[in-house]
Structure 1
């Protein structure tokens, strides 16, 4: 079986243990305005009731913010949930909607990756692309199913 075109490309855990606390702090301050590639999503666990604050890459399409992720915390946004989102130095309440439909997620991932170009897409999306090229929609659909990739769409609650 050939190697997958798209695979996880996350930074090492030791690096995240240092970077994530610094990002959590910085993204809540005016300094966060300089870190526009990232945002802090703070939400309450559906089952635990515990409060979480997770720094993630900020992906923008058509004026909306998106989180592309494999992590299990995505299920806290099933059926929608409010979140405090700190992005570009400002914090606001937004509504997060979990998108799991394979073709919808693949389409969003393909658009996000294309908007960045190969190198930035790999870095911002935490993924590795085989062959130094952007994946096709079919390759994204395969990765969505295999890696359990989903998207959280964050929209303003005005």
Structure 2
């Protein structure tokens, strides 16, 4: 669960998300409109497996190739296509080219020390 303040409404928003560890970064893959709250970065509270951590989240400007590489790394690390929001037949493993074609935004979460 990620908790943040809406950029336009000022309301506290809580969104269930899947966190993925890719190359030392904690990433969220999404195309939902709430992602724009993290343009330029914003403070967040992340609750994961009962542990509450504060930090900053940033919407990354990733190329399709970079996004595809992040997808592949998350899949190789054990994430299921469902967790990444991919609609593929059960057991199907998308190719690198197919992953690069998928339009998903990446949000990086940096935790406070």
Two-structure CA RMSD over aligned residues (Å): 1.8
Q: Distance in 1 between matches of 2:44 and 2:17?
A: 13
**What is the aligned partner in structure 2 of residue 82 from structure 1?**
43
TM-score by length of 2: 0.86
The Cα of 1:91 is off from its aligned counterpart by 0.9
* CA distance, structure 2, for counterparts of residue 131 and residue 100 of structure 1: 30
Mark the CA change 1:131 to 1:41 in structure 2 (over 3 Å): closer, same or farther: closer
Q: Does 1:156 align with 2:104?
A: no
Match of 1:121 among 55, 59, 80: 80
**CA deviation vs aligned residue, 1:105-155 (integer Å, no higher than 9, x gap):** 221111111222xxx5122112222584322222112112xxxx1111111
- The structure number with the bigger radius of gyration is 1
Structure 1 residue runs of 5 or longer lacking an equivalent are 1-39
Of Structure 1 and Structure 2, the greater helix share is in 1
Q: Deviations over 1:46-96 (max 9, x none)?
A: 122111011111212244321111111111111111100111211111111
TM-score (norm. length: structure 1): 0.64
Give the paired residue count.
Answer: 112
> Is residue 99–residue 105 contact of structure 1 (8 Å, CA) maintained in 2?
no
Q: Bigger shift: 81-90 or 130-139? A: 130-139
Does 44-53 or 133-142 show the bigger shift? 133-142
- Aligned residue for 2:15, secondary structure, equals strand
